[in-house]
Amino acid sequence: MNEIKGGVIAPKGYKATGGAVGIKQGIKDMAILVSDVPATAVGAFTTNVVKATSVLRNMDIMKQKQNIKGIVINSGNANACTGVEGEKANQQMAETLAECLNVPSEQILTASTGVIGATFPIEKVKNGIHMLFPNIGDTLEHGHMAAESIMTTDTYSKEVAVELKIGGKNVTIGGMAKGSGMIHPNMATMLSFITSDVNIKRELLDDILQESIQTTYNMVSVDGDTSTNDTIVVLANGMAGNTEITEKNADYEAFKKALHFINTKLAKDLVRDGEGATKFIEVNVTGAKTIQDAKMIAKSVITSNLVKTAMYGEDANWGRVLCAMGYSGIKFDTTKVDIIYHSAKGSIDLMIQGSPIVFDEEKATEILHEKEIIVEIKIQEGTEKATAWGCDLSHEYVSINGDYRS
């Protein structure tokens, strides 16, 4: 498997574009993604009881096992909590792209991100689709335009692509995603679109995705809020020409590994660019009784506002880490806990076997001054482990979210 340039347009048979259609006044706010042939599609969606109309429609289409020709995505308006009018508008959004492609609207997925509850500007969206559709293409630039157009408060676009050999054929996977607030375990506001030219049975693709999200998108947190619009979709159009993967063999494992790499990269990028984030934080928990225990502890630490502000302040306040472990709901023996911080500048033991270690504050400050910090937590309850990713909580986060809607 090699990482290559590009995003969603990297695999064979995909075209994309993006641009400004007036939802956000001069800022790129719409992307279109098209597959030359109807693609097998699987997805995962927000666990929030309140689901955007696009999410409900996409879930329904997935249930019908429709193959997918295109996806239209807008930023600037979430089309969530917009009632029957919003539902109609969402259907029209799909129909407009369907008309351009001359396919049934069931072959079109939609996704929206932005403010909740505001009237959806369907006329701008319809005009936008007509305006942008003629521009679709498969160059790096086309993929990049799409990735940029799904951003909200993201500061950079997230793209990734890999290629691998399956049955002697080149198979490619590409992806684009957006954050960057409301990112929290259980599919928080993130949109992630993955394309591949692999030929694979729908059920197997779904298995891979559902397993992969457990340790990728579901293990990142920006602010603990779970959005109404989270959507991850994987398309597989079979144009690589490999023999269809129909069982869990070596080809399956190779593809699974590659897709997981894509998801991991995108998930980590989401929190690296979390709203106002100045630091990327990885929490590794080992020695837990169960994977679930390890996850609960890791998530509790990565979500703690007090841990996050301490990281922002570059303060080795490991007591807050232990405290957050303690309210995770998981039982552990506090006399057997190790807490170690790592960065490119080295490592520092803060607690070993439940005893605080007298540490060199200067060294700690040097380590915490880095942009990427790893919090290593060892307990001695078992052999399971988990990793969560997050970011610090900064003044900028408050500024962004105190004045986001207006």
As annotated, the active-site residues are 189
Residue located via tokens 């090699």: 2
Strands (DSSP E) found in 46-121: 68-77, 108-115
Residue 230 CA to residue 112 CA, distance in Å, equals 9
Residue among 81, 131, 140, 291 that touches a second copy (CB under 8 A): 81
Least Å distance between CB 150 and a second copy? 19
- Kindly tell me which of 104 and 313 has the beta carbon lying closer to a second copy: 313
The one segment of 9-17, 62-70, 200-208, 225-233 that binds a second copy by CB under 8 A: 225-233
Under rule CB under 8 A, which residues in 251-290 are in contact with a second copy?
none
Shortest Cβ distance from residue 120 to a second copy (Å)? 11
Query: What is the smallest separation between the CB atom of 181 and a second copy, expressed in angstroms?
Result: 7
Nearest residue (CB) to a second copy, 259 versus 297: 297
Give the x/- contact pattern for a second copy in 309-338, rule: CB under 8 A: xx-xx-x-xxxx-xxxxxxx-xxx-xx---
- Size (the chain), residues: 406
Three-class SS state of 62: helix
- Decide the pairing of beta strands 231-236 and 30-45: antiparallel
CB burial readout 224-254, b (16+ within 10 A) else e: bebbbbbbbbbbbbbbbebeebeeeeebbeb
Which listed residue (99, 225, 349, 366) binds a second copy by CB under 8 A? 225
CB atoms within 10 A of CB 117: 14
Nearer Cβ to a second copy (315/384): 315
Binding residue (CB under 8 A) for a second copy from 223, 251, 269, 273:
223
Q: Which of 354, 370, 376, 380 forms a contact with a second copy (CB under 8 A)?
A: 354
**What single letter denotes the amino acid at residue 254?**
A
> Edge-to-edge strand order for the sheet containing 355-356?
220-221, 384-391, 280-288, 372-378, 338-343, 346-352, 355-356
Q: How far apart, in whole angstroms, are the C-alpha atoms of residue 213 and residue 224?
A: 17
Residue 361 exposed, middle or buried by CB count within 10 Å (0-12, 13-18, 19+): exposed
Residues 26, 49, 247, 362: which binds a second copy (CB under 8 A)?
49
User: Does 78 contact a second copy by CB under 8 A?
Assistant: yes
Nearest CB to a second copy, comparing residues 208 and 310: 310
The answer to whether the CB of 271 falls within 8 A of the CB of 277 is: yes
Site for a second copy in 105-124 (CB under 8 A): 115-119
Q: Are the C-beta atoms of 140 and 5 separated by less than 8 Å?
A: yes
Can you tell me whether residue 297 is helix, strand or coil?
A: helix
Q: Site for a second copy (CB under 8 A): which residue of 16, 177, 182, 386?
A: 182
On the question of a cis peptide bond just before residue 35, with omega within 30 degrees of 0, the verdict is no
Quick check: 56 binds a second copy (CB under 8 A)?
no
Q: Which of 14, 193, 252, 397 binds a second copy (CB under 8 A)?
A: 397
For residue 88, the SS3 value is: helix
Residues engaged in binding a second copy (CB under 8 A): 47-51, 78, 80-83, 115-119, 181-182, 186, 223-228, 303-306, 309-310, 312-313, 315, 317-320, 322-328, 330-332, 334-335, 351, 354-356, 393-395, 397-406
